[in-house]
Amino acid sequence: MFNSCDFILGDNDSIVIVVPTQLPKDQPLTVEVHNKGIIFRSGEEEVGDICCERSDVLQRLVSKAKVGMIEFLNGVPRFPAYISAVAAIEVRIAA
């Protein structure tokens, strides 16, 4: 399980999540967006939980249905980096 990640922010509110590990591919990936953080799930299993109070990042995520992710195995970047997983986004922010 990981507890940190990075984000690549682009034009038109685009966003890519950079995770420090390889994600399981046997179940659908989901990114749950909460008021103060993000939970990553593979099926029902939690694979990552990060604290994120950056409103710009959270706003970009809640405006999307899916998000691309780049995996850096063992936290080490190996270029060329490419989107290696796509996760559905579930919004869990209280009104």
Number of structural domains in the chain: 1
Output the pLDDT for position 28.
95
Output the pLDDT for position 8.
93
Domain for residue 21, yes or no? yes
Output the pLDDT for position 1.
87
Structural domain for 75, as ranges: 6-91
Output the pLDDT for position 79.
59
**pTM of the model as a whole:** 0.86
Domain for residue 1, yes or no? no
Regions of the chain with pLDDT less than 50: none
State both tokens at 22. Answer: 């390889």
For residues 59-81, one letter each, b for 16 or more C-beta atoms within 10 angstroms of the residue's C-beta and e for the rest, the string is ebbeebeebbbbbbeeeeeeeee
| Helix ranges restricted to H, 1-95 | 55-62
- Collapsed DSSP state (helix, strand, coil) of residue 92: coil
Output the pLDDT for position 55.
92
Count CB neighbours of 38 within 10 A: 22
